Amino acid sequence: MVVLNTQKAANELLDKRGANYQDRPRFVLFDVMGWGLTLTFLPYGPRFRLHRSALQTGFTKTAITNYRPIQEDEARQAVSRILKRPEAWDFSLRRLQHARRWGWAIKNLHDIPFSAIKKEFDAGTANPSFAYSLLTKYKENEDEGVPNEFTLQDIQGASGAVFIAGSNTFTRADSVPQTFATTTIAILNMMLNPEVFAKARAEIDRVVGTERLPTFQDRPNLRYIDYLVEEVSRWRPLSPIGIPHKSLEDDVYNGMFIPKGTVVYYNTFAMSRDLNVYKDPEKFNPDRYIPKEEGGDGEPLLVGPFGFGRRVCVGRHLAQASVWIIMATLIATTDILKPVGPDGKPIEQTIQFSTGLSSHPGKLDVVFKPRSEKAERLLAEAVKDAQ
């Protein structure tokens, strides 16, 4: 086993020599749980290349722009729900209530969404989606008598990977949605760092104003919100030690022999705390990414949260976009504050993070208040128009 603790080592092995480190060890439990045909856990081979190609095509930076209206609508609905029931804010962010038992829960995550889409597809009522495009191609090939490389089982597995990535983390039965976990960490830091919140809001007010809600068209001019989302991933990586790779052939790195079949972990948490790269790494500081020529530290974005090489998360652009629009909408419309005790003083909380392949925060008490009546009205109108 090899553990890579720096971005430099991970880049040199998993990126530059990615062809040799694109395999996975066998995840026996995950196979039993029904994840065998998801891209994340597929071993290297023809099926892996087929799934990776299909998913990469569906989730390029250009392709994900098709989902922007949905993401904007979901963000506005989520924030609207939070303001209606602020005491249940965490449930308002969830789109899927996770189950407590592994086997049937994972089977349902694969089977139920695909079955529903397949039924709508056959009836001609399905909305455009990743699964829809694969099913369309499958049917066209069938009608033309062309052999399908992608079987219905492959389509189901690939679609399940997308659904699980958007709904649940991959390691625990009591896991939480990835977007939910990342957004929760962002909210935590908005509560703990009011100066960061104020700077983010000031940028939104300058670019967007207060007469409308933020949209993805504003993103090029809301660079600080981008930095904020990147800092969330660095400050508390959701997968601290990543999903292991496996070497396909013998290799030598810095005089060290790495035999064929070696399991290789990339320690994202160690990379995020590398004092040679990040100044004061425990501090939540989006300003660290401002280029040096603009007066900032010019520190690099952390790569590890989305993996390396040929195993990098193909849905990373979509995931970050979801967090970006949720946070932009929250900051524009909502005050995020610490709860106050009977003595009138803010309550300081000890936040616990889970450990293991996946890490996410525990229970967090936050006060949400509408920024203004105008902000509430803008949200209400946006939600009403979308219905």
Helices (H), the chain: 7-10, 28-33, 46-58, 68-84, 89-93, 102-123, 130-144, 152-167, 178-192, 194-207, 223-235, 268-272, 316-333, 373-386
- Are 182 and 238 within 8 A, CB to CB? yes
What's the residue count for the chain?
387
Closest CA to 220 of 61, 57, 383: 61
Residues 6+ apart with CB under 8 A from 139: none
Cα 196 from Cα 66, distance rounded (Å): 31
Closest CA to 216 of 301, 328, 380: 328
As a whole number of Å, the end-to-end CA separation of the chain is 52
Is 313 marked within a binding site?
yes
Binding-site residue set for heme: 313
Binding-site residue set: 313
